[in-house]
C-alpha cells in the first residue's frame, strides 16, 4: 500500500477526524490495532509491539508525511501505578513513536527524499493535570524530540511539527462527570471545547507544506484554556 500521508492511530474521535480531513487533500492511509476497523486504507499496527509488517514498511517508505496520533491515556496517580503500567504507557506513548520516526527517516533518507513528521501532543505536556503526570511526561518528551530533530535533520529537508490539543469533544470527555466537564469548559476563553475536526484541519495545513517554516514548533489548540 502506498500513501502520501500515513496516520498512526486513525481510529477514535480524533483519529477518525484526521482520516476524514486528510483524505480530502491527500492519498491517505491509517493504522489501528482494532481488527474490526481494518479496511483497504487502514492497516493493523500495535504500538505495544512496534514491529513493522511488510505492508506497513512499504507504506511508510512512500509517505511524504506521517502523523503520530496513537496513544494511551496512562491516567491515574503515579504513586498508585504498577511498574508494568508505567512501562506500558511509556512504551506506547514515547518509545514506539520514536522507533516509528526513526524507521521513517531512515527509509526516506535512503531514497534521498524529504520527510515530514507531525506529532499529536497535548496541553498536558506543558500544563499540570492531576492524574496525567505520566501521560504529560511522554507528550513533553515527544515535543523535545521533534525540536531536536528539527535541528539535526533540517538540512536533509526533514520537517517536524506538533499540535497540542486541549480537551475536545469525544467519548472520553463525554464520560466525565458533568461538574468536571463544565469546569473544563468554563476555563476556555470562548467557553466551549475544541472540536476534533478543528484539530484535524490544522494538521492538514501542516501536511500541505505551508507551515514547514515552523519546523520544530508545536501549536496549541485549546480554545484558550491555557492562556
Phi-psi region of 45 (alpha: psi -120 to 50; beta: other; left: phi over 0): beta
What's the pLDDT at 52? 65
Low-confidence residues in the chain, pLDDT < 70: 1, 50, 52-55, 74, 171-176
Domains parsed from the chain with CATH numbers: 5-168+195-221 (3.40.50.720)
What's the pLDDT at 173? 65
What's the pLDDT at 186? 87
What are 164-185's pLDDT values in tens digits? 998 887 766 665 677 777 887 8
The CA distance from 59 to 196, in Å, is: 25
Quick one: cell of 130?
Answer: 492531576
Q: Kindly calculate the radius of gyration of the chain based on its CA atoms and give it in whole angstroms.
A: 17
Handedness of CA 218, 219, 221, 223 (dihedral sign): positive
The CA distance from 161 to 184, in Å, is: 26
Number of H helices, E strands in the chain: 8, 7
Residue 174 near residue 205 (C-beta atoms within 8 A): no
CA dihedral 55, 58, 62, 67 (to 10 degrees): 60
Quick one: cell of 216?
Answer: 520544530
What's the pLDDT at 109? 95
Amino acid at each position: 500500500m502506498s500513501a502520501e500521508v500515513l496516520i498512526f492511530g486513525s481510529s477514535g474521535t480524533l483519529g477518525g477526524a484526521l482520516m476524514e480531513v486528510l483524505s480530502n487533500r491527500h492519498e491517505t492511509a491509517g493504522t489501528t490495532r482494532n481488527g474490526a476497523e481494518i479496511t483497504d486504507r487502514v492497516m493493523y499496527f500495535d504500538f505495544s509491539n512496534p514491529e513493522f509488517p511488510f505492508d506497513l514498511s512499504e507504506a511508510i517508505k512512500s509517505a511524504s508525511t506521517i502523523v503520530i496520533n496513537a496513544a494511551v491515556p496512562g491516567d491515574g496517580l503515579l504513586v498508585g501505578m504498577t511498574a508494568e503500567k508505567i512501562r506500558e504507557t511509556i512504551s506506547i506513548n514515547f518509545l514506539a513513536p520514536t522507533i516509528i520516526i526513526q524507521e521513517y527517516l531512515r527509509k526516506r533518507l535512503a531514497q534521498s527524499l524529504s520527510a515530514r513528521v507531525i506529532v499529536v501532543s497535548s496541553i498536558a505536556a506543558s500544563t499540570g493535570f492531576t492524574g496525567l503526570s505520566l501521560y504529560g511526561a511522554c507528550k513533553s518528551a515527544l515535543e523535545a524530540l521533534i525540536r531536536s530533530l528539527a535541528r539535526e535533520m533540517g538540512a536533509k529537508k526533514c520537517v517536524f511539527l506538533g499540535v497540542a490539543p486541549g480537551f475536545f469533544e469525544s467519548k472520553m470527555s463525554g464520560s466525565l462527570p458533568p461538574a468536571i466537564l463544565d469546569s473544563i469548559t468554563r476555563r476556555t476563553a470562548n467557553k466551549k471545547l475544541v472540536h476534533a475536526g478543528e484539530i484535524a484541519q490544522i494538521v492538514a495545513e501542516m501536511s500541505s507544506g505551508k507551515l514547514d517554516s515552523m519546523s520544530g514548533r508545536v501549536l496549541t489548540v485549546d480554545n484558550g484554556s491555557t492562556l
